[in-house]
Amino acid sequence: MKNIIITGGAGFIGSHVVRLFVNKYPDYHIINLDKLTYAGNLANLHDIKDKPNYTFVKGDICDYELMQKLMRQYEVDGIIHLAAESHVDRSIKDPFTFAHTNVIGTLTLLQAAKEYWESLPEKYEGKRFYHISTDEVYGALQLTNPEGIESPFTTKASSEHHHAYGTEFFTEETKYNPHSPYSASKASSDHFVRAFHDTYGMPTIVTNCSNNYGPYQFPEKLIPLFINNIRHRKPLPVYGEGLNVRDWLYVEDHARAIDLIFHKGKVADTYNIGGFNEWKNIDIIHVLIKTVDRLLGRPEGADEDLITHVTDRKGHDLRYAIDSRKLQRELGWEPSLQFEEGIEKTVRWYLDNQEWMDNVTSGDYQKYYDSMYKDR
């Protein structure tokens, strides 16, 4: 049996990774370690909570004594590290929290893993520390084709909207150039992970992924926020003119990539994970309005008047676009869904799970967990 800690497993991406591993590998023991901050919600995993190969631990990755204890208690073979503060707007207001969680938390995990694994007769053999990062560490790309051109990438999931908005793309060799406190904290944590390989020989892997979307995403992020606002006819706040471009990936495709890289990826290597799927924010918003209105039986375009342009975010990167052909070429991964199909599934999920959304937006789920774990 492999004993694997997945940090941040009650969060958006983490819950999809935990579910995949618990269901796909019944002979693994999956330990979900999550602090249950505002973005962590065990309701995301209600369907697997009683599985015999699943254990939840409420804990802080910055707690070194706890991390040491968990490594020994569960005889941990692998760590898939997703726990992070991730919302750029929050990082602009509170950079200290991002530095503490993302940098010190990652370093704490690395040191606890190093100490335990080096105490074993086999040392690092059969062990793996997999760190999930972001494309934002690379900085920003120029928006050279505002109307879009045909993308140079092809996948089975290529859709009609398969555009590129420039000729440059982030590759695994792109130099780091973070522009926000969030991306700076993630860049620092990436460097620590690589340093632990170079210094101690720890078997590490780093992946940098583009924007994820799909079920269970906390509704401070664009897609779930706007779906909920359209449903309730609330304003849709668009930064500037909405021309910022992001590469979007359905979260279950990211979870599949993580599974593949954890098992087959090359130690000390880096893999970029992207959707080959660039969209301007304003175009995404129009698609969301059209889809929500159709599914709610409203006239097409009925909620276009909700679009409200607001002052742009400080240091707002103009374009991110990932070249993930290395992952496609070496490990055979590519996105499975066309974006239109993924958006349809995502909108339907949020409309069908209004109770989940209400609990998250009200904060009731946090009060429940605070009382549940107050004596532990």
Burial label for 45, CB within 10 Å (0-12, 13-18, 19+), is: buried
Catalytic option among 34, 85, 135, 293:
135
String of b and e for 100-137 (b: at least 16 CB within 10 Å)?
ebbbbbbbbbbbbbbebbeeeeeebeebbbbbbbbbbb
Tokens of 158: 């290529």
Say which of 54, 116, 130, 182 is annotated catalytic: 182
Active-site pick, 34, 136, 247, 293 = 136
Do the beta carbons of residue 320 and residue 247 sit within 8 Å?
yes
Token pair belonging to 43: 């309701």
- 136 is known as an active-site residue: yes
Q: How far apart are CA 63 and CA 104, in angstroms?
A: 10
Listed in sequence order, the residues at least 6 apart from 329 whose beta carbon sits closer than 8 Å to its beta carbon are none
- Residue 175 is given by DSSP the state P
Inter-CA distances, 197 with 99, 122, 351, Å: 21, 17, 45
Question: 55 with 3: CB under 8 angstroms?
Answer: no
Q: How many angstroms separate the CA atoms of 157 and 73, rounded?
A: 43
Strand order in the sheet with 278-280: 211-213, 245-250, 278-280
SS3 29: strand
Find out whether 102 and 131 touch, Cβ atoms under 8 Å.
no
The residues, ordered by sequence, that sit 6+ positions from 23 with a Cβ below 8 Å of its Cβ are: 48, 51
Catalytic positions? 135-136, 182
